[in-house]
Amino acid sequence: MRIVFMGTPDFSVPVLEALIGSHHQVVGVVTQPDKPKGRGKAIQMSPVKETALRHGLSIYQPVRARDAAFIEEMRRLKPEVMVVIAFGQILSKEFLEVPVHGCINIHASLLPKYRGSAPIQWAVINGERESGITTMMMDEGIDTGDMLEKRAIVLDEKETGGSLFDRLSLLGGELILSTLEKLEAGTLPRTPQNHQEATYVKKIPKSLGEIDWSMDATAIERLIRGLNPWPSAYTWLNGKMLKLWAADVLPEGGKENRISGKTSEEVKEYSAGDKRQKNVGVIVAALPAGLQIQTGNGILNITSLQLEGKKRMDTGAFLRGFPVQVGMRFGNRSDI
């Protein structure tokens, strides 16, 4: 089939590569305009544009894909279907009607759950056991169209936003070929979404990464994984920012005693009742195996972190260059 592909970030690239390697004809690639990036504000192409250039494909970069002139340009390509994944603009009804078979979106969740932005990171943060990819026919709503096919995967115990991003990106490339095969054969089912079961997730702001140590250790550990590698979870110690990259949850009165060497009475001093709430964010042990922090419920053992201006390192390496004492407290910027 004649396909116009629409996408912008790294997540879109495996789908484009899969289409290029198939028997389908990619007659055009639509991506966001080049933008300045970094401290030097150098103009940078999107990963999709870089991929399209390597394969000698025709590239279109509309400021507004809804504009009548651009819609007419797409009509001249005579696409049978458009494949859309993380393009970054809302498409009008007129645009969606350009291809004969409509526009197929590849969404990184098991719809109708996790419509909207950042479904990958929120799945990790919320402790979901599974996620996946859904192909769907696009309509004027945000991820509200009829579902076509789904492919689910089980999240690893230590799944991060980055690792799930990579897994679902590759899965999208596999699933779109299956969806297009069924579309060609006339056997592609369309299943309306149950809007009563829908959930929405918003774009993640950097501020979400600032850790509230009154949360329980399990929730903080999931936040650290979900925001790895971007925008990252962080806290403050003695006026310096620390990014946190990996941690384990140590249940009260259990594993933390064996790691820290503390007696049960010493652990109780930090974690019992009202004292636990007063001591949230306090370092209860500082060992090469991890920095152990009292949270609102449980001990969090930090195993990988990064001091501002420094490289990421394990806790043992961090402690050799940045002395930390039991009783010091992690806080937020307002505490500085």
**Structure letter (DSSP) for residue 22:** S
Angstrom CA distances, 227 to 30, 115, 118, 122, stand at 29, 18, 10, 9
pLDDT at 260: 40
pLDDT at 159: 98
Distance, CA of 14 to CA of 73 (rounded, Å): 26
* Intervals of the chain under pLDDT 50: 254-273, 275
Name the 3-class secondary structure at 148.
strand
Angle at 207 between CA 202 and CA 210, to 5 degrees: 125
**Structure letter (DSSP) for residue 123:** H
Token pair, residue 67, equals: 């504009």
pLDDT at 98: 98
Note the pLDDT tens digit of each residue in 262-275.
Answer: 433 444 444 444 54
